A and B are shown apart, each in its own frame.
Chain A
Amino acid sequence: MTRRSQKIVLVFVAVLFMAVASAGSASAGAILADLENALMCKCDDKCGKVLENCTCSTADKTRKKFSKMLESGLTVEQIIKQQVEEHGETILSAPTKKGFNLTAWIIPFGAILIGGLGLRRLLGVWVKKKLPDDGMAEVSDADSSKPTDTTGSSKYSNRLQDELNRLET
């Protein structure tokens, strides 16, 4: 892949992520659903469902209570805060994005990023290892800025590769 195309792909991905990140969470009508999704049901110790998904009678009562609280002018954040004070952090359906809990969110992406960088480096080493044996200069499209060898062996290798590609497809 050329540097130019790499940049294009990167810009495309960045725009995509920005579009997703900048999107609002939910419409005004879905505020209650947001609240129900942010909190766990407390009906039973083993229920393990977010309030939105729970079907028990306690969940119904809680939903009605939240509905009234929203109507009284309380915001989602205020209700959540009140619930955390009452039941502890275990009421939240996901870890908060601050303090130690931030590691819950960062580590999976960090692991992929580190893995990706490591993989890229490893692939680079493997590609370089192959280079001297082949006697070809033009092997990697990532490095197509290098001068292309048009000697006989390269021509034959390219032809062989083309035929292999044709066979593949």
Chain B
Amino acid sequence: MNDIGEFTLMVALATSLYGAVAYVMSARGNRIDLYLSADKIPLITWACVMISSIALWKALFANDFSLQYVYAYSNIELDYFYKFSSFWGGQKGSLLFWTLLLSTYTLVVHFQNRKKSLIVVPYAMAIMLGITVFFLVLLNFSTNPFERIPLPPEDGRGLNPMLQNYWMVIHPPTLYLGYVGFTVPFAFAMAGLITKNLDDGWIRLTRKWTIVSWFFLCMGNLFGASWAYVELGWGGYWAWDPVENAAFMPLIVSTAYLHSVMIQEKKDMMKVWNMSLVLLTFVMTIFGTFITRSGLIQSVHTFDEATLGYYFLGFLFFIIAVCSVMIVWRLPLLKSKNELDSFLSREASFLFNNLLLLGIGFATFWGTIFPIISEAVRGVKITVGPPFYNQVNVPIGLALLALIGIGPVIAWRRATWSNLKKNFQKPVAVALFGGAALYPVLPLSNRSEIYTYIAFILCIFVMSTILLEFFKGTIARRDSHEATTVAALGSLIWHNKRRYGGYIVHIGVVMIYAGIAASQSYGTHIEKRVKTGDTIEINDYMLRYEKLAAVQATSVKTRIIAQLAVEKDGRRIWTARPEKEFYKGQKQPVSEVDVRSTLASDLYVILADFSEDDSATIKVYYNPMVSWLWMGGWVIALGTIVCAWPDRLEQRRRLERLKRQEIVFSPAQE
């Protein structure tokens, strides 16, 4: 099976290369024979990559340690659940997984568009297959997952204990679905540039892809934060690590694109800007991959064998050069009739939203690469850690939060003062009232607490504007359709999916802001060495240390479990069981924290250390409102589903538009 896997990787490379060339030549020469010959290529490539993937999975499940990859990332004792996820646990497997997703996306795009006689389609297919070729070259000639060990060992080294967590099965695929997904809008944007089809056709063709990729990237970031929270055992969820930044930057740039693209759809403006943003998003995904796989920037997330830096750096420069040349070349065609009725308009607010989003993206990029710049300029290596990002990004983030409230309510084209007053009077009043009510309750002794106070006021303001929008729309629909309030609300959302779906996403974002603000400022922690019967007090909770137990979970894993009774108001409400897990062959034990999560706060308990006399060092964090982050994520998911839900009216409009469009690629008619 390993030989088959290796062989199909070769076949996939050959077919995708042929497909890329054939698609371009068929479009350029309007050749039906080449077009038809390329028609099955996406399916063949996908099938080959899938067979290779199945071969690797089979080797992992069958403990085939003749493969270097299986030896390095699995062992006999490893749970099947983690054997499955070991597939993307190392560099080689993760590259194969990336290629599998890319070829799957290519296949879906092919089936979606094969009957549309649009000139952009063969070029987009060629670009997607071209990118697939790059990954397949790496897999075949640089990081072959089917590399053999001449004398196979009896057991493998096993998966890094940190990766033996259920989030390992969820987080990387989600993030990769987002990363790889942005290849589709990129391919169509480039195809638009090549073929001079620079109206909003490519945007409409890829709108759903953009939303879905954005959603996966967003959830991938949140799942990563959730994983860090439960696995790394330091009480936090985001450390501004270079690899975390690498996943965050494309999310930020694509968010800017999702907003500014609305201006192009509504007013046919900002073509250059939108084109640049979608290309930049893809560049950022490759930059992220470069960071993870180059070893250039130190990170806990980088792969053990981070040796692909030069390949990705070359690919990155190639893409940047091609994108820049194409944009400059097509600049005359990208020029749009940029006119604005007023500074006070939704268009202007979206542009400022773009400025702030890109500001955050740039600050994060700058912080990530600054150690390299410093070393190059001064010869001194420095660290850029969380204090930098918090100090720089928090004020920008707060300004962005304010714009989340202002943007959707301000009118397109031109808002008048009376219009603004009408829309903002109540939300501002509610926010000020909320601020006044919170003032005596919240501590304001340091910068972080003041920021949090401002964040809360802005959260109230944004929530008020959004809820007021829902309220006004529902009442208007209820009165005009004589429906019940619930039916009117449902109908309002159903008939304006993009708009109200977007509002729901914003509600999720506000929840995340509130969760971050509260947990960063009002969290407390305590560390105490305890013996049986000793207590630890934190906020309203009292933790009584009961016992320590050792459990031999498997032949390679020993669990040391501490048990603490958690009491509140004299009543036992929970039993905390934080652990330390010792893996054979691993120097450092892994902490498994125990968390009691409520809407108001998390009680986060860590077994920091223990002794043979059963005494233990227990660390307890009181983290307010962390659950709001995860809930915000699910609200964003709901909003994205509403936004991306098929809209018959929109589909009808699109069909009519397609009918009106000149058919520029028709090899079948030759």
Contacts and interface: CB of A to CB of B under 8 A. Distances in A.
Q: Do A and B belong to a common assembly?
A: yes
B299 A111 contact: no
Given A49-B234, A161-B413, A123 B374 contact: no
A107 B395 CA distance: 15
Interface stretch (B175-183, B339-347, B479-487, B534-542): B339-347
B299 A48 contact: yes
Contact of A94 (B232, B235, B391, B417): B391
A63 to B, nearest CB: 9
Contacts of B381: 88-90
Nearest to A23: B447
A112 B242 CA distance: 22
A53 interface: yes
Interface stretch (B8-16, B349-357, B511-519): B349-357
B348 A141 contact: no
B383 A92 contact: yes
Given A53-B236, A55-B591, A115 B355 contact: yes
Given A94-B387, A100-B378, A48 B370 contact: no
A47 B417 CA distance: 53
Contacts of A23: 444-447, 449-450
A87 B454 CA distance: 38
A154 interface: no
B401 to A, nearest CB: 13
Contacts of B380: 88-89
A24 B446 contact: yes
B284 interface: no
Interface string B214-252: 000000000000000000111110010110000000000
Given A46-B302, A168-B412, A115 B385 contact: no
B359 A90 contact: no
Interface string B379-419: 01111111110011001100000000000010111111101
B352 A119 contact: yes
A54 interface: yes
Interface stretch (B104-112, B186-194, B361-369, B645-653): B361-369
B563 interface: no
Contacts of A93: 383, 385-388
A127 B340 contact: yes
A19 B450 contact: yes
A48 B340 contact: no
Nearest to A169: B472
Contact of B384 (A27, A46, A94): A94
Given A23-B450, A126-B339, A90 B363 contact: no
A119 B342 contact: no
A112 B359 contact: yes
Contacts of A57: 609
Contacts of A56: 588
Interface in A1-18: 1, 16-17
A130 B339 contact: yes
A94 B12 CA distance: 46
B447 A25 contact: yes
B609 A95 contact: no
B634 interface: no
A38 interface: yes
Interface of B: 232-236, 239, 241-242, 298-300, 302, 338-344, 348, 351-352, 355-356, 358-359, 362-363, 366-367, 370, 374, 377-378, 380-388, 391-392, 395-396, 409, 411-417, 419, 423, 444-447, 449-451, 454, 469, 472-473, 588, 591, 606, 608-609
Given A20-B454, A94-B388, A119-B355, 19 more contacts: A20-B395, A24-B445, A48-B385, A49-B300, A50-B386, A53-B239, A53-B386, A55-B591, A55-B608, A94-B384, A108-B362, A108-B366, A108-B396, A111-B362, A112-B359, A119-B352, A129-B340, A139-B341, A168-B412
